[in-house]
Amino acid sequence: MEDETEKLRGFLSKRKGIGRLTVQIALSVAAFILMVEVALIYVLMDSRKQDLNRMREKMYGQAISGPVLKPTDLLTDAELEGEIVRYRRRLYLSTFILLAVVVTGTALIVHKRAVRPIHKILSYDDDSLHAKISFIPKEEYPMNELGALMNSRNLMLYSLLQAYKKEAIESLVAAVDAKDRYTYGHSRRVGYYAAAIARMMGLSKEEQDNMRQAGDLHDIGKIAIPEEILNAPRVLTDAEWEVMKKHPRRGEAMLRFSQFPDDVRLGALTHHENFDGTGYPEGLKGDQIPQVGRILHVADALDAMTSTRPYRKPLTMDMVVDELMKNRNKMFDAKAVDALLTLIERGKIKIPHSISLDSSAESA
- Nearest Cα to Cα of residue 8 among 179, 123, 143, 196: 143
Cβ(80)–Cβ(51) below 8 Å: no
DSSP 101-133: HHHHHHHHHHIIIIIHHHHHHHHHHHHHHTT--
Catalytic entry in 222, 313, 335, 348: 222
Question: Within its chain, how far is the Cα of 2 from the centroid?
Answer: 11
Residue of 70, 340, 56 whose CA lies nearest to 194: 340
Beta strands in the chain (DSSP E): none
Alpha carbon distance 313, 305 (integer Å): 9
Q: Which residue in 171, 193, 130, 219 sits closest to 320, CA to CA? A: 193
Active-site residue, 58 included: no
Contacts of 302 (CB under 8 A, 6+ apart): 193, 320, 324, 340, 351
- The catalytic residues are 222
